[in-house]
Structure 1
Amino acid sequence: MSAGSGLLSGTRGATLRLILVLAGLAALWAVLFAVNEVAWDVMLGEWLGLDLRQPVVGAVHFLLYDTAKILLLLVGMIFVIGLLRTTLRPERVRSFLEGKPLVLSLGMAAVLGAATPFCSCSSIPLFIGFVAAGVPLGVTFAFLIASPLVNEVAVVMLADMFGWQVTGAYVTAGLGLAMAAGWIFSRMSLERWVEDFVFAAPVAALGLDGHRPSLAERVGAAWEETRDIVGRVWKWVIVGVAVGAAVHGWVPTEFFATYAGPNNPLAVVVATLVGIPLYSNAAGVIPIAEALWAKGMATGTVMAFMMGTVALSIPEFILLRRVLKGPLLGLFFGTVAAGIMIVGFLFNAVF
């Protein structure tokens, strides 16, 4: 065997070992993500003997579970997207999207968001990866809005509680709001309001000198990018989820009865603004919405409360502030909140 053949064989062997390591790590990540909630149930409920129904214990459980989930998503999604970007250059992503009508690109992003059953905070890792990959901000925002608003669990639960007519209108409104907000953002030049580190990631510089990077170089660049981004935001994940845990499941029912009842013409505005601090996913807020609806709250007001709770939250604001500068963050929250209120008023007029 020649020296060249031996070197080639060694390179192939190293590549195969790296692939096996990556497969093993992927399997470990999948197991950790799958058992995350159950593991905290066992640790707190069985090992420590705590009652998970108690508000304080439930808040601690939520903090541990949601923090672990978001950090796992950050590490996993940023790494995978970074690895894909070492093969698929941002220019190709942009050219692919530029070749499609804007409405189609926004629709694809909204449908992808609906297919990923994440809460508002859990969608941020994919949002960061898409922005870093060169996906236009308007399209990326459409994904970020649709992901928490619409998913298959929410659709089934809504249909069971409110019927298919309200459910169909909710899904249409959620996807329409995501696309409309994305279209508005697409009309503006907003890239300057994204933090520089998102675009200056190690993956972006890989292969610029014409060198075709090896798998090991691709993995190294993707891991360096993951460490950089996660290192910048992990503390804020904990802060954001801690804020969410403090208010998780708490709904001021007496406040709603007084200020968001059918006699208040601004009930939709009140419901939206009150819903924003209450961090939850769609499946978690629907039973609360049903209880408010059963007490006589108008359908549009209930939907506005739901949308405000799942699409916008203080934890999401804290996390996004590490990625977006103040003006863009304010524009995003203001636009989505206004859209939710419009949807609420339309629902009250129709139902």
Structure 2
Amino acid sequence: MSNKKEMANLEEKLLLIDVDCGTDDAQAIMMALAAPNVKILGITCVTGNTSLDNVCKNVLRVLKVCKRLDIPVYRGLGTPILGERLHAPYCHGEDGLGDINDPDAPGLELLQNEHAVCAMIRLATEYNHQITLVATGPLTNLAMAVRMDLTFPNKLKSLYIMGGNMESRGNTTPCGEFNFVADPEGAYIVLNDFHCPTYIATWEHTCRFKLPWEWYDQWVNKGTEKADFIKKIFALSLQFCRYDEADKGLIGEPGFLPCDSYAMAAAIDESIITSYIECAVTVETTGKFTRGMMVLDMIDYLKNKNKAFVINGCDLDKFTMLMEASIE
């Protein structure tokens, strides 16, 4: 059976995507756009990998490459709930998409006038229990949505998050993953106040399922417009990723790591998740070394009835199929 036929047989999904659009967010959006079983109701933007203006511009750039500027894009929050902004130019470039020259990028006038948080609440109400929300950036917009409307999480079908960690291993601080460190309070609110089924693709999980560099080289050299775009925006990050691939400190085997796409793939096709840990989770908001660290409550210390599904297994064949479809 062909890739497209397999995807067409999946259950139809209504997605709302919340991003801080860096390179891996861009890849995740392209994955969703290529899936025939997916309808994207909107894309909401939050500061994170780069400034909020850049995030909004980057989403529009991705939609233009994919010829899907019909999808509404909403401007969200430009600061975390507490603390200072945290960006990642060392990985994503100052503009968030590898600092490639793009003079024909769409302008911000294409953004919707409605605020992202208001759009989230409106869409969840309109499509009650039908929307799968995929969050690949700091959780600021989601936290604000539940503060504005306590019923918001209960109107969602499910939530998929790329963020946090399950073994206290960090990529931004010794114990913190970028998205959660960028807004620990936002992550704390979401993980404690959202009662819809919640699936989390942590930093360690994504690291264990890297794709071989040989596969990556073939993938970005397919000669399609989308493949050329991916090759350009990842070029900057690969300057240090491939150099560090022999670093014994990295989790799992060396290879290409499209972090946000692991959460997106699971949202598109749940069968990609081959195993998970079901437990209550929370986020440390204080501490010199542990602020932003996700905590797995394996002994029911928190007495929290709300359990998350922390993903720790991935069907790489199905994941790779979605990656390949995204650049066709």
Query: Shared topology, TM-score over 0.5?
Result: no
Q: Which structure has greater strand proportion?
A: 2
TM-score normalised according to structure 1 size:
0.25
Considering fraction of residues, name the structure with more helix: 1
Higher Cα radius of gyration: 1
Q: TM-score normalised to the size of structure 2?
A: 0.27
